[in-house]
Amino acid sequence: MERKKAGMKCVIFAGLPAAPELHSWWADADYVIAADAGYENACRVGVEPDLLLGDYDSAPRPEAGAKTVFLPAEKDDTDTYYAARKALELGATDVVIVGGLGGARLDHTLANLQTLVFLAKNGVCATLADTDNEVTALLPGTHRIQARPGWYFSIFSAGEQAPGVTLEGLKYPLHDYTLTHAFPIGVSNEFAAETATLRFSAGMIYLVLSRKEPPRG
C-alpha cells in the first residue's frame, strides 16, 4: 500500500528475522523500537534501535541502560503490543512492524493482527510486513492502493462485519457489499488498473498484499 510519510514514523522489530530486502520500510524511520528478540533481528540488518524492551524470555537479555525497558514475563501485553503502545505514547502516526508474521507461533501472529487494530483505532497507519506479505488495518473511508504487479490483493473484515464495501480497479469488483468475518470473499483478488480503490462505511478491514510467487533462495 502506497503511503506518504507525514508525522512520525516508528518501526518495531519483532521476534522473527527481518530480511535486508525490507530496508525501505525502516530507511526513513524517525524512531526504532526492538521488542525482545527484535534487538538481535535489528542488529543483523545494521539497525541500531532507539529503544529496547521486552521480558527476554526467548532472547539474550541486553545490558541495562537508558534505552532499555525490562518487562515482566507474566503480563497482559505481548512485547510487541507494549512496543506499539510506546510508539503511540511517543506520538507516532505511522507504525510498521517487521518480524511479526509467520513463524511457529500462530498465536503471536494473531496477537500482532490485533495490535494493528489497536493502532488503527488510535489513528495510526499500521502495517505488518515481511518479504511476501503486507497487512494494513484500515478504518472506514476511501483508500487508494497503487497496483503491485505480481501481488494478490485481499481484504478481510477485522470485526463481525464491514458494510458498504466497494472495490474498483480490481479483477473482481464489489459494490456496496457487506464483508463479514465468516466468509472470505475478499481473498486473492488481482489488480486490473494502475490504482485500486477500496471504500467502506463502517467496521475495520485488513488489507493484505501477498506476493504471488515468493522468491526462492
Tens digits of residue pLDDT in 96-150: 999 999 888 899 999 999 999 999 999 999 999 999 999 999 999 999 999 999 9
Domains of the chain by start residue, with CATH: 8-131 (3.40.50.10240), 141-211 (2.60.120.320)
Average pLDDT on 18-25 reads 93
Whole-prediction pTM: 0.90
Q: What percent of the chain has pLDDT over 70?
A: 92
For position 69, what pLDDT does the model report? Answer: 78
Integer Cα distance of 37 and 93 in angstroms? 24
Integer Cα distance of 214 and 193 in angstroms? 22
For position 73, what pLDDT does the model report? Answer: 76
Q: What is the DSSP letter of 74?
A: S
User: 82 vs 62, 198, 206, CA distance in Å?
Assistant: 18, 30, 21
Joined together, the cell numbers standing for residue 216 give 526462492
CB 142 within 8 A of CB 199: yes
Average pLDDT on 18-47 reads 93
Integer Cα distance of 77 and 85 in angstroms? 10
pLDDT mean across residues, the chain: 91
Helix (H) or strand (E) holding 10: strand 8-13
The sheet with strand 195-200 has its strands ordered as 141-146, 195-200, 161-168, 174-180
